[in-house]
Amino acid sequence: MAKVPRHAFVPETISSQAYRDHPLPIGEGQTISQPYIVALMTESLELEGREHVLEVGTGSGYQAAVLAEIVSRVTTMEIKEVLYHRAARLLDRLGYTSITTVFGDGYYGHPPSAPFDCIMITAAVDHIPAPLLDQLKPGGRLILPLGNPFSFQNLVLLRKKADEVFVKQITGVLFVPMTGRALNR
């Protein structure tokens, strides 16, 4: 995380707050997660360095940049067009060549890039999207804030083993709701 210039991922008007341990608004009704949660989610995936990770909810691009410092390949999806363009330009400008930024509804994942070793959802959803579970490799991990998108959620880590999924609750969290298909099912 020390390699990623967090201040570059927040609006200039609040860049002085970039390294404080709390979420910050990034526009379009979205936030950049507090550094502690970024670190917790990243560490919980137990990354070894050679993984291909799908991130659902690019936002500012900060979490994707943190992941790119650890793994070999990141595909990140954003449904809000303004944020998608802003993050794609920033990640390109900062030289993150191992990140592919995709505009679209992350609920459906990104089949052309699947399967994934790990998936990280950075917006709250009240169920586990089946398309994402389908795109997770056997032995893969999926981390997400699971629960009521308009209230508190539990940060949950899933491990996919053959046809079984094992669930571990990590801690209570509060994330912005996942939009698109997640809210309109």
In a domain, 4, yes or no: no
Q: Does residue 8 form part of some domain? A: no
pTM for this one? 0.96
1 located within any domain:
no
CB atoms within 10 A of CB 151: 10
Q: Which residues does the annotation mark as catalytic? A: 33
Question: How many domains are contained in the chain?
Answer: 1
Q: Give phi and psi for 21, each to the nearest 5.
A: -90, 65
Tens-binned pLDDT, residue by residue, of the chain (185 aa) = 999 999 999 999 999 999 999 999 999 999 999 999 999 999 999 999 999 999 999 999 999 999 999 999 999 999 999 999 999 999 999 999 999 999 999 999 999 999 999 999 999 999 999 999 999 999 999 999 999 988 899 999 999 998 889 999 999 999 999 999 887 76
CATH number, domain of 130, equals 3.40.50.150
Is 10 a member of any domain?
Answer: no
Q: Which pairing describes strands 116-121 and 52-56: parallel, antiparallel, or unpaired?
A: parallel
Q: Would you call the peptide bond into 115 cis, given omega within 30 degrees of 0 as the criterion? A: yes
Residue 184 lies in a domain: no
The parent domain of residue 98 ranges over 26-178
Tell me whether residue 101 is in a domain: yes
Q: In the chain, helix, strand, coil percent, each to 5?
A: 30, 35, 35
